[in-house]
């Protein structure tokens, strides 16, 4: 298969999972390459996502690695054979690759969790709110770039509003709901949209109020996307040096636990809706 100049995060993840299986089997790259009639350079390219890999090769490698997790192997095969060119491809070359990788991740997710403390989660944002967020960037973006990002963010909402919507849960701190990212009218409209979307059967919104005792989880912001199997889950986190995709099994387990801890101190969905109603009336 031809080499890729810029593999997507999903292609990199497939290679990474094959590398994890090889390392768990205690084999070196050159030993695995022999099975495929390849060399260590080609094996390195497969495991970095630079080179594609066929379904047959994935199955041969999994068998050679003595992988007995049939669900994981089936999921890896699906990643290999998937040729989806989703709606996000229209933005390639216009928006940073991270935007496209996040869209692709969401497209394949089986569920989605958000924890936010300063902003309303992107999937719940109105156009005005998203525009205010992107307009505040330093250095400032040109108007057409801001509009591209807003448009892209609105299209991402298809995973909770479209015909193929997935289960979605958002844990939002009171601070994010009170901060007027836009003006008063925009803030009121934003709270109204959160309430409207929270009425859907597959959407759960929980509020973390300021007056919650014993809460030290303010550094727990995350996007958690569920994979076809738990080992293929992904956490997306923003950091000062950029946004990172996290997929190590130990870290995924830690973030699942962290999400449940924050969820446990959040208000129940009905109480959360009442809480947001009260905030809207104050505006």
CB 226 within 8 A of CB 233: yes
Which whole-number Å values give the CA distances from 273 to 4, 10, 118, 251, 267, in the listed order?
47, 36, 18, 32, 9
Q: What is the mean pLDDT of residues 192-199?
A: 97
Tell me, what's the pLDDT at 2?
61
The reported pLDDT for the residue numbered 92 is 94
Q: Quote the pLDDT of residue 135.
A: 96
Report the pLDDT averaged over residues 112-132. 97
Q: What is the pLDDT of residues 25-49, one digit of tens each?
A: 999 999 999 989 999 899 999 999 9
pLDDT confidence tier of residue 219, bands split at 50, 70 and 90: confident
Rounded mean pLDDT of 160-167? 92
Using the predicted structure, report yes or no on whether residue 1 has a pLDDT greater than 60: no
Between 217 and 188, whose confidence is greater?
188
- Please give the domain boundaries of the chain with CATH numbers for all domains: 9-81 (1.10.260.40), 96-125+153-282 (3.30.870.10)
Q: Is the dihedral of CA 64, 67, 68, 69 positive or negative?
A: negative
Calculate mean pLDDT across residues 46-75: 95
**pLDDT at residue 53 greater than cutoff 80:** yes
Measured in degrees and rounded to the nearest 5, phi and psi for residue 165 equal: -65, 155
pTM reported for the whole predicted model:
0.94
Sheet containing 203-208: order of strands? 203-208, 168-173, 111-116, 222-226, 234-239, 242-246
Cα(172)–Cα(118) distance, integer angstroms? 8
Handedness of CA 144, 147, 151, 157 (dihedral sign): positive
Q: What angle is formed at CA 61 by the lines to CA 57 and CA 67, rounded to 5 degrees?
A: 135
Structure confidence at residue 29 (pLDDT): 93
List pLDDT tens digits, range 248-262. 999 999 999 999 999
Tokens 């690759």 correspond to 97
Average of pLDDT values for 140-146?
97
Q: Are 180 and 129 in contact (CB under 8 A)?
A: no
The pLDDT of residue 278: 97
Return mean pLDDT, the chain.
94
Peptide bond connecting 283 to the previous residue in cis, omega within 30 degrees of 0: no
Give me the pLDDT at residue 150, please. Answer: 98
The mean pLDDT value for 52-71 works out to 95
């Amino acid at each position: 298969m031809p080499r890729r100049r810029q593999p997507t995060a999903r292609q990199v993840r497939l290679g990474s999972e094959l590398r994890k299986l090889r390392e768990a089997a205690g084999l070196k790259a050159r030993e695995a390459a022999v099975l495929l009639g390849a060399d260590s350079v080609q094996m390195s390219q497969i495991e970095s996502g630079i080179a594609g890999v066929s379904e047959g090769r994935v199955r041969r490698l999994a068998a050679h690695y003595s992988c007995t997790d049939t669900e994981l192997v089936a999921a890896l095969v699906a990643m290999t054979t998937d040729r989806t060119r989703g709606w996000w491809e229209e933005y390639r070359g216009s928006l940073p690759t991270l935007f496209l990788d996040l869209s692709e991740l969401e497209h394949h997710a089986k569920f989605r969790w958000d924890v936010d403390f300063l902003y309303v989660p992107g999937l719940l944002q109105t156009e005005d709110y998203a525009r205010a967020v992107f307009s505040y960037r330093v250095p400032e973006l040109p108007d057409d770039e801001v509009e591209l990002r807003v448009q892209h963010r609105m299209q991402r909402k298809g995973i909770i509003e479209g015909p193929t919507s997935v289960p979605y849960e958002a844990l939002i701190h009171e601070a994010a709901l009170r901060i007027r990212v836009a003006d008063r009218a925009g803030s009121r409209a934003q709270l109204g949209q959160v309430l409207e979307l929270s009425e859907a059967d597959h959407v759960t919104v929980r509020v973390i109020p300021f007056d919650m005792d014993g809460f030290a989880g303010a550094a727990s912001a995350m996007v958690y996307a569920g994979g076809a199997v738990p080992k293929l889950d992904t956490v997306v986190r923003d950091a000062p040096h950029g946004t990172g995709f996290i997929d190590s099994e130990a870290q995924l387990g830690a973030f699942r636990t962290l999400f449940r801890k924050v969820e446990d101190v959040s208000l129940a969905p009905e109480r959360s809706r009442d809480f947001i109603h009260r905030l809207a009336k104050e505006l």
